[in-house]
Structure 1
Amino acid sequence: MKKFLFFIYFVVICLVSNAQLSWKNLDSLYQPLPASMHIYKSTDLIDGKPEVVYYVIADMKDKSLNFTTDTTYKRRFTPSQFFEKDNHPLLVVNSCFFSFATNQNLNIVEKNGKLVGYNVHSIAGKKKDTLTYYHSFDGAFGVTKNRTADIAWIYTDSSKKYPYASEFAIPFMHDSVANHSFNDIEINTSLVLGHRGKSVPSFKKWRMKTAIGGGPVLVQNSKVQISNNEERKFYGMAINDRHPRTAIGYTNGHEIIILVAEGRSETASGITLIQEAQILKDLGCKEALNLDGGGSSCMLVNGRQTNSPSDKKGQRSVPSVFLIEKK
């Protein structure tokens, strides 16, 4: 009998863990909002732990909305400061990873078709890896001038007008070369993927009007497929660590979804990359991308803060944000 009860308990726990979250519409708290944009909140348990998760969904085909970015130069602003700087947009959310030492974005930022932030492709090794370098290709989210979205793995170069994209996750390279040219990248990635028996990616110009980077990619082809090991972000067992999170994705119905999850508090434990990916898949994302999280996670709707940031000072200053503006 005890074994039977334990089996029932185990089945219930599995069902609860895999159940989709329930969401409450909060539009009335963040007015005025256009009819094509909505905000939701969930306080359900995830794998038995308390969580607080928000998401905003907006129709990319609504031509009264503008999806764009903003960034700073050698300094950082809080989301509320960006809200004031950018004439009170409908939504402000943190985006790229960045360096605390230099205030530099570590990922692509594109605004009005112009690159204003670049991926850092070479990271010096440490300890036993001294004198070697890691070269990764981070995921990025973009919107074209025709209002279609895409997520791809990106190579940027300040000498080139456009970023270059692969629709396949590319394993990071590890060698003794501090920097590679784009031609080197094409050759080396072809050799790496060809040697492993996988399809060789063809890089193409990624012509976006708006783009932000982060990583890893979470959802591909409407399935949970996390490229953390290829991007060398939260690789190995770190995929299971719980943290505050920020993410962005899009649906087959041409809707953008922006998600933030609280964490590192008594009321919210934070979510893993796997849980984050599953939530976005359940919300209908065709593709989704993790962005900078932790103390940086913060989303404003009409200037009002949604989640409670985990940073002790409140809103953390960041060098770049994703925006939804009302034309």
Structure 2
Amino acid sequence: MMRLWLVLTFALTACQNGSGSGSIRLTWRPVDSVNVDLPPGIRVFAGHSSIPPVRAWAVRINEPDPQLVTRVRLSSDADDGRETLTSFATGDDVCVAVNGGYFAMDRTPSVHAGLLLVENHLVAPATRAVERDAQTYEAARAAIGFTNDDEIEITWATTRGDTLLAWPDPPAHAPGMPAAVDSALARPWNVRDAVGAGPMLVVDGAVRVTTDEEIFFGSAIPRTHPRTAVGRTADGDLILLVVDGRQPASRGVDLVELATIMRDLGAERALNLDGGGSSALVVRGRLLNRPLGDTTQREVVSALVTYCPGQARGDQQIP
């Protein structure tokens, strides 16, 4: 399936939503200077558009692959509970890292906002409920998980004590109209690592942005921002996407535009991760994007890290 990604140009058209322009055409090319240091199962592509100005980076990772291991990681910083993505990516066996879920920046140490499961340890429970205009909405937000067999699962998730639950659909919330939640619809979610964020972007290969259902209405999340997204293809590969924003060379994208890009890159399921100044992509220790318009990085609480043990830098050739 990796050969399909050697096609250099994709026409990506997004429906208009909020401040989005309604149409983005990204031209994609492999980043040969980076790919030469990666095993054949990982390929990095850079995309750009002039009108509107958008810069993006996409990574496709063959999963499951015994030579490639993706994990959810928690910051080990003892002071404020956050570190740069470059710090997360330290080590010769680290191939790729992107930022993970939401967190509270106004607390020290920082606290993860939403589900975070690291090596079967529940670091933070899923967001249980959200208050909007004096009304309570029970939450089931999008999350990505990795099983003990390194298979990728993307679903709406909640927690009950230390138990993770997966939902076939989120509650049918709408602004001002909280929906009833039938707990009988949930099933145990047996994963080793998981991180929640949201909203969901793609389901069954089609754009499905569940902003209202996940109670992101009334927040800044749906607007045009720098973005990070993660997805799974129909054959189980992992797709990572980072889009720069808030700078002259790249305005960012809204959620529908982000979902359309992920769908057209082959995602069968995809979700939005933390964005804004947190959005960052590090490959082989090199920061590829410009999170704040330069090489300055926001410290984050969690990350998705892909390891390629035994793959020394500089000894791989592009197949």
TM-score by length of 2: 0.81
| Residue in structure 2 matched with residue 75 of structure 1 by the alignment | 81
1:153 has 2:152 as partner = no
How many correspondences in the alignment? 285
Distance 1:246 1:50 in 2: 17
Out of 207, 217, 238, the position equivalent to 1:224 is 207
Residue aligning to 1:119: 126
Computing the radius of gyration from Cα coordinates, the structure with the larger value is 1
Q: Does 1:23 align with 2:20?
A: no
Which position in structure 1 is the counterpart of 2:168? 167
Q: Structure 1 residue 66: deviation in Å?
A: 0.6
1:326 CA drift (Å): 1.2
1:169 partner amino acid: P
Provide the rounded CA distance (Å) in 1 between the counterparts of 2:85 and 2:140: 27
Shift of 1:247: 0.3
Q: Determine which of 55, 63, 66 is the counterpart of 1:60.
A: 63
* Secondary structure at the counterpart of residue 112 of structure 2: coil
TM-score w.r.t. the length of structure 1 is: 0.79
- 1:106 corresponds to: 113
Q: Tell me: CA distance 1:87–1:119, structure 2 relative to 1, closer, same or farther (3 Å).
A: farther
Any idea what the Cα deviations from partners look like across 1:265-305, whole Å, max 9, x if unmatched? Answer: 00001011011000010011100000000000001000100
Corresponding position of 2:98: 93
1:311, distance to aligned residue in structure 2 (A): 7.0
Flag structure 2 segments of 5+ consecutive residues without an equivalent.
1-13, 16-20, 310-319
Note closer, same or farther for the CA distance 1:135–1:169 as it changes in structure 2 (3 Å cut): closer
| 2:25–2:49 contact (8 Å) kept in structure 1 | no
- 8 Å Cα contact 2:127/2:158 also seen in 1: no
Report the 3-state secondary structure (helix = DSSP H, G, I; strand = E; otherwise coil) of the residue aligned with 2:89: helix
Q: Is the 8 A contact 2:70 2:306 kept in 1?
A: yes
Query: How far apart are the structure 2 equivalents of 1:147 and 1:239?
Result: 30
CA shift, 1:92, in A, is 1.3
State how 1:1-327 maps to structure 2 within 5 Å: 21-45=26-50, 48-72=51-75, 75-84=81-90, 89-102=94-107, 103-124=110-131, 129=134, 133-157=136-160, 159-160=161-162, 162-172=163-173, 188-190=180-182, 202-233=185-216, 235=217, 241-310=223-292, 314-327=296-309
Query: Per-residue CA shift, 1:52-88, capped at 9, x if unaligned?
Result: 010110001221111101113651101112122x665
1:67 & 1:282 partners in 2: Cα distance? Answer: 23
Q: Using the TM superposition, name which of 108-117 and 240-249 deviates more.
A: 108-117
Paired letter, 1:81: S
Alignment RMSD: 2.9
